[in-house]
Structure formats: C-alpha cells, structure tokens
C-alpha cells in the first residue's frame, strides 16, 4: 500500500479523520471492562472474554501471560497513533505528538535501561512501537554503541530535555532514565496545552498531572545528585498540581510528606497514608480524566478536543485493563475496584 501523504488542509483533515475517530471509538475497551471486571475471579473465563475484545488480533495464539495481554493493548494503541499521523489536522498535531511521545517513551525507557544494565538490546521483544522511526533510530544507536549510543539516539530525535537530565548525572541509573523520559513527556504536554487551548487543553491536563506525580514520586524515592535535581527543577511542569511546592519537595526524600502535601488537590481528597494516599490521588486524577473526556467526545468534529478525548479514552482503557489483568492473574479481586469505569 502506498504511504498516505500528509493532509495539510485543516478542513480536509478533519473531514478525513472524523470517520476514523468513530471507528476507533468502537475499538475502545470501555464496555468490555465492565464484563472483564466480572471475571477477575476466574482467570480462564477472563482470558476467553479478552479474546472477544478489540485487542484479540494482538494476542499470542497460546494462552497470554499478564505482560502479553498488556503489550497487546499498547500495540493496538501504537498502531492507531501511526494510522492517525498522516491525517491529523494541523492544529491537533501537538496533541497527537504528546500521546505519541507518551507511548514511545515506554519503549525508549526499556531500551535505555536494558543497555544500562548490560542486557541484549538487539533481542528485545517487548517493544510497543518497534516500527516508529524514533524508536528505530534510538534502538539502532544503542545496539551499535550501548548507553552512549542511546543518549546519542535521543539527541538525534530531538529529545533535548531527556538528554540534559542524563548528562547531568555522573552515573545514570534505570530510575534516572525513567525520569529523563518523563520530563520529555511533560515538555510535550506543555507544548500541546499551550498550542491548542480550550477544551482540548483541559482534557490533556489530568494526563500531564499523572506524569508529574509519577516524576515527583520517582525523584523522592532516591538520593539524586544536585546537578540532576537542578536540571529536573528547571524543566518540571504540571497542570493543576502545585508546581512550586512539588519542586520544593524534590529534596525531601519523604513520601509521607509528599502524601500530606497532595492529600487534597483539585482532583479530590485522599484519605490514606504515604503510598496509599499517592495511589488514591492517581485514581482520583484518572477518574477525573474519564469524566472530562466525555465533553470532548461530544464536541464539534472540527474541534481538536475530539482527538484529545479519543486518544485519552483509549489510553485510560489500557491502564484499566492492566489493573484488571493484575487482579485476574493474582486473584486479588479488590484491585478491580480501581478502574475508572463506573
């Protein structure tokens, strides 16, 4: 099949993308999540239901493991992003770029950490988007020159913030790789929100804060060199969470204090302590995100909010499926209550 040329006309792009969005709506796992939740106590039945969902073509023929099923959902999402790339309306391109950056960062983290730990990068089979040009470039550079090649690959694909974090560290660790790429994701979110504004920016807000909260938790769980902290402080951003207070918390190394700081946020109030309170805030933010995207799904087909809402919906579906998978494979049925569908 010939590669579709990029559509540059705004009206033509929206007219072309509208039916695609409707078809992607049918791929959402939203309704399937209700059914799957009812089978978390019966793994065999759970997996049978899973094979009736939209991710079935991505599942292995043999009985899938927990990681296989989650990877299948991510690969479907990556394919949707790839299909949208040439037809995305110009004013919605920053939205697509944000979710694309969010998705491939998963692969880039895996490549970087594997190289750092002396693993065989060339044998990685868990990549979500191996055909992504950016993932391919970083993969090739890393296979050629290890972690130095990884950093060079990031530089070549324009991940300046991630490179700055890694260069600030005298000795990188797997967690610093995660931090560097999460900062790159936050930068993409900030650019997208500034560019689109309105309802679309509002839909991106919870996702941005999810990454911000993950970043702060990661920073506080380890002792980082001051140069790394300085590089993080200057680049850290969020949406509704208290940025200045979170940046100040980088040096605390006390998750209990962080939990106290975030006990009450614009997303709601957490009642637990330390890790439990942080987990509650994640849930509150994700639930707020699912409620907020409803407006985007109902917006004008010529509003970039429709694209933001669809991409966020599918991402929330993946996260909810991951929760149900853990519940089903571990037999911990209480976990199923953490999904965002009512």
Lowest mean pLDDT: which of 194-198, 240-244, 254-258, 279-283? 254-258
Q: Which residues sit opposite 265 in a β-bridge?
A: 268
Ranges of beta strands (E only) in the chain are 264-265, 268-269
Task: Give the per-residue pLDDT at 1.
Answer: 35
- Which own/partner pairs from 132-140 qualify as long-range (CB within 8 Å, at least 24 positions apart)? 132/78, 132/82, 132/104, 132/107, 134/104, 134/108, 135/104, 135/107, 135/108, 135/111, 138/108, 138/111, 139/111
Please count the other Cβ atoms lying within 10 Å of the Cβ belonging to residue 63.
11
Most confident of 87-91, 117-121, 205-209, 221-225: 205-209
At residue 4, does pLDDT exceed 60?
A: no
Kindly indicate the confidence band of residue 2, based on its pLDDT and cuts at 50, 70 and 90: very low
Q: Quickly state the pLDDT bin for 6 (edges 50, 70, 90).
A: low
Pick the most confident of 19-23, 175-179, 270-274, 276-280.
175-179
Residue 256 CA from chain centroid, whole number = 25
Mean of all residue pLDDT scores within the chain = 93
The reported pLDDT for the residue numbered 273 is: 74
Structure-model confidence comparison of residues 257 and 282, the more confident one: 282
Q: Which of 101-105, 166-170, 177-181, 193-197 has the lowest mean pLDDT?
A: 166-170
DSSP string, 142-178: HHHHHHHHHHHHHHHTT-HHHHHHHHH-SS--HHHHH
For residue 7, what pLDDT band results from cuts at 50, 70 and 90? low
Structure tokens, 172: 């990188």
Looking at residue 252, its pLDDT comes to: 80
Is pTM, for the whole model, over 0.85? yes
Q: Supply 319's token pair.
A: 């996260």
Q: What percent of the chain has pLDDT over 70?
A: 97
pLDDT of residue 5: 61
Hunting for tokens 């976990």 — which residue is that?
A: 335
């Amino acid at each position: 099949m010939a590669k579709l040329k990029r559509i540059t006309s705004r009206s033509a792009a929206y007219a072309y993308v509208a039916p695609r969005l409707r078809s992607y709506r049918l791929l959402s796992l939203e309704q399937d999540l209700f059914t799957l939740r009812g089978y978390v106590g019966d793994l065999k039945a759970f997996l049978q239901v899973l094979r009736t969902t939209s991710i079935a073509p991505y599942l292995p023929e043999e009985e899938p493991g927990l990681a296989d099923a989650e990877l299948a959902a991510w690969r479907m999402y990556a394919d949707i992003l790839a299909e949208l790339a040439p037809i995305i309306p110009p004013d919605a391109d920053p939205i697509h770029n944000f979710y694309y950056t969010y998705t491939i960062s998963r692969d880039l983290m895996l490549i970087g950490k594997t190289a750092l730990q002396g693993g065989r990068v060339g044998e990685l089979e868990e990549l979500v988007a191996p055909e992504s040009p950016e993932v391919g470039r970083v993969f090739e550079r890393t296979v050629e020159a290890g972690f130095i090649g990884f950093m060079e690959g990031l530089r070549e694909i324009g991940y300046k913030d991630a490179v700055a974090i890694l260069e600030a560290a005298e000795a990188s660790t797997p967690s610093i790789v995660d931090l560097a790429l999460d900062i790159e994701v936050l930068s993409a979110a900030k650019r997208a929100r500034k560019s689109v504004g309105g309802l679309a920016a509002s839909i991106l807000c919870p996702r941005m804060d999810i990454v911000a909260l993950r970043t702060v938790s990661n920073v506080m769980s380890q002792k980082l060199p001051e140069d790394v902290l300085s590089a993080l402080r200057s680049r850290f951003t969020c949406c509704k969470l208290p940025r200045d207070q979170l940046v100040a918390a980088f040096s605390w190394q006390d998750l209990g204090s962080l939990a106290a700081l975030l006990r009450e946020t614009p997303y709601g109030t957490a009642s637990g302590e330390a890790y439990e309170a942080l987990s509650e805030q994640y849930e509150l933010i994700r639930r707020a995100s699912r409620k907020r995207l409803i407006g985007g799904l109902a917006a004008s087909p010529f509003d970039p909010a429709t694209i933001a809402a669809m991409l966020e919906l599918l991402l929330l579906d993946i996260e909810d499926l991951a929760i149900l998978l853990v519940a089903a494979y571990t037999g911990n049925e209480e976990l199923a209550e953490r999904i965002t569908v009512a």
